[in-house]
Homo-oligomer: A and B are copies of this chain.
Amino acid sequence: MKKINTSSISGTQELTPKDQTKFDQLKDSIIRKYHQHGFLNIETPTIERTEILLAKAGGETEKQIYKVIKTSGSEESIKEALRFDHTVPLARYVVEHENDLSFPLKVSQTGLNFRGERAQKGRFREFYQCDIDVVGRNTLPIAYDADVIATLLSTFNSFKLNTPVLARISNRKILSGLLEALDLEKISKEIFGIIDHAEKVTPEQTKESLEELGLSKDVVRKLLSFIGLHGERSAVIKELGNLEITNDTFTDGVNELDQVLYLLESADLHDQIMADMQIVRGLDYYTGTVFEFILPEHKNIGSVCGGGRYENLTKYFSDKSFPGVGGSIGLTRLFYVLNERGLIADKANFLDYAIIPVSEHEFDEAMNVAKKLRNKKHSVTIVFAGKNLSDKLTYATKVAKNGIVIGEAEVASQTLESKNFETGETSEININVESNPEDFWAD
């Protein structure tokens, strides 16, 4: 009988070993792909000085910060809190370690972040985020925007989901330039907000919201037609040209978008990218390229990845200029929605082999055989427990793909048979063939 409530706290993820295996595969895949694309991993502490976190946070985020305090805590310890994203710690890291870093700095960060949100289904208070960022010193070529998007797409492709992934890409300078041409700069923040929100409401509601700003019917029509622009690079670039807007902001935005999309095409990603003027991203933070990934067959999931270009990562911490571009996968939420919909392939079973010694007399031989199989990179468990052989076999089928029974006869003949639990096929295995010595990376 339980003596106490043993459930994990709400808003956190706690998985069975089977689901944890699936989760870990996604995480490993992300880490591997980020590295393959040249991003170096870094890790900052979970606990930060509150003043560092508050330098950027504001509004909702500030309310959601978890402060930490020692049980025996003095005033002093309340000055610390749990990070709510990877961006603020990265900014601090860049300023602190500038002289030890090579710029452009390509870094990845994969770890837990914390937000004191109201717990609800699919919303997490403690969650993994997997970020990549490229940070330049003073300048950063636009090609890195394509580099980031290519990396994230390649990462999603490595998940082998049973459904396609599409990157919707735009550049905030384009809408800014349009608003400049329409003489609407003063209310650009409000208009960005309405457009960012447009997919969560009906087209009619978006129209009303724009009209409420006091815009003429003609202007509203132009804006709605603008955010409807989406498709393949050359077509969208042409349509943007047809708008005949000549200010630098607009022209720069279109050129940057064109370059980013062109480079992604060069990386063979034509089918997975789309120019889409609907994408503006909520945060003021972004200043150029913006993107969001969706699963077109599961639109109601919403964005599964997002990011963009920002002018200056470290503005709260330093006078120097560090422009950057980055993106983030919210892994805990992503896993939750994918797993719920059965979009992640199931792994057959956990381990390669279970060795089943018939009695205690074969425990030593089992240790010896396990050692040799592990030297060949196999995952192996030994079933020491169980009332009888049948008991041990039942356990073995739950944890491994193949079983090897070792009894007196096997020890005497030094012949072992492996049985595939799924197919029932058996095959003799020779564990005495020499394998390579253990290798740091490969084993």
A contact residues vs B (CB 8 Å cutoff): 1-9, 12-17, 20-21, 23-25, 29, 32-33, 35-38, 40-49, 51-52, 55, 62-73, 77, 80-82, 92-93, 95-97, 100-104, 106-107, 112, 114, 116, 125-126, 136, 139-141, 143-144, 146-147, 150, 154, 157-160, 262-264, 266-268, 316-320, 345, 350-351, 354, 360, 363-365, 367-368, 370-371, 374, 377-382, 384-385, 395, 398-400, 438, 440-441, 443
A sample of 11 more A-B contacts (CB under 8 A), given A4-B55, A67-B71, A266-B365, is A1-B320, A8-B45, A9-B47, A9-B49, A16-B101, A21-B41, A35-B351, A36-B443, A67-B70, A102-B395, A102-B398
- Rounded to whole Å, the gap between the CB of A310 and the closest CB of chain B is 17
Hey, which chain B residues are within 8 Å of A92, CB to CB? Answer: 6, 8
A3 and B382 within 8 A (CB): no
Known: A14-B45, A38-B379, A443-B32. A139 touches B266 (CB 8 A): no
Q: Which 9 A-B pairs have the closest CB atoms?
A: A38-B381, A12-B45, A266-B364, A70-B116, A143-B384, A266-B367, A6-B96, A17-B40, A267-B367
Q: Which residue of B lies closest to A72 (CB)?
A: B63
Q: Which residue of B lies closest to A319 (CB)?
A: B1
A4 and B51 within 8 A (CB): yes
> What are 22 sample pairs from A and B whose C-beta atoms fall under 8 A apart?
A1-B318, A2-B317, A4-B52, A4-B317, A13-B43, A20-B40, A20-B43, A25-B441, A32-B443, A33-B443, A37-B370, A37-B381, A46-B46, A46-B112, A47-B125, A68-B114, A103-B385, A112-B112, A262-B364, A263-B363, A266-B365, A267-B367
A154 and B374 within 8 A (CB): yes
Known: A9-B45, A43-B15. A116 touches B77 (CB 8 A): yes
- Rounded to whole Å, the gap between the CB of A351 and the closest CB of chain B is 5
Q: Which residue of B lies closest to A137 (CB)?
A: B385
B68 and A157 within 8 A (CB): no
A367 and B146 within 8 A (CB): yes
B40 and A350 within 8 A (CB): yes
- Rounded to whole Å, the gap between the CB of A139 and the closest CB of chain B is 7
Residue of B12, B100, B150 touching A367 (CB-CB under 8 A) = B150
Q: Which residue of B lies closest to A318 (CB)?
A: B2
The copy count of this chain in the complex is 2
Q: Which residue of B lies closest to A154 (CB)?
A: B374
Hey, which chain B residues are within 8 Å of A6, CB to CB? Answer: 52, 92-93, 95-96, 317-318
CA of A345 to CA of B62, assembled, Å: 43
Hey, which chain B residues are within 8 Å of A154, CB to CB? Answer: 374
- Rounded to whole Å, the gap between the CB of A259 and the closest CB of chain B is 8
Q: Which residue of B lies closest to A383 (CB)?
A: B104
CA of A77 to CA of B117, assembled, Å: 11
CA of A123 to CA of B104, assembled, Å: 33
Hey, which chain B residues are within 8 Å of A33, CB to CB? Answer: 443
B104 and A382 within 8 A (CB): no
Q: Which residue of B lies closest to A25 (CB)?
A: B440
Q: Which residue of B lies closest to A363 (CB)?
A: B143
B106 and A381 within 8 A (CB): yes
